Amino acid sequence: MSTITVNIAFQKSLLHDIDRVARAESRSRSEFLREAARAYIQRKRRWADVFSMGRGIAKARGLSSDDVSKEIKAYRKSKVTRR
């Protein structure tokens, strides 16, 4: 697989944290950033899949956005009262 070099700017404190974690994991900065990018993209895809599934279920059951919001609020309220 070919690679392309890019320039990217970070705040000093963030770059320090990146380097610290990369060293602790015996990785290069590039390895660390590639893995971080992959993990971010994978997480975004998973959440997109979850929301897509939710929209499909809501559509199949004839639920509106308001119906879903009401259910979420009711669930959260029931969790608070159970404590």
**Assigned domain for 75 exists:** yes
Q: Please give the pLDDT value at position 60.
A: 95
**Assigned domain for 32 exists:** yes
**Assigned domain for 68 exists:** yes
Alpha carbon of 9 to those of 14, 18, 27, 37: distances in Å?
A: 10, 13, 20, 15
| Number of domains into which the chain is organized | 1
| DSSP category for residue 65 | H
**Assigned domain for 76 exists:** yes
**Assigned domain for 16 exists:** yes
Q: Please give the pLDDT value at position 83.
A: 61
Tell me the residue type at 1.
M
**Assigned domain for 45 exists:** yes
**Assigned domain for 3 exists:** no
Mean pLDDT by 10 residues, the chain (83 residues): 92 98 97 97 97 92 91 89 68
The CA R_g of the chain, rounded to the nearest whole Å, is 21
**Assigned domain for 7 exists:** no
Predicted TM-score (pTM) above 0.85:
no
Domain range for 48 is 12-82
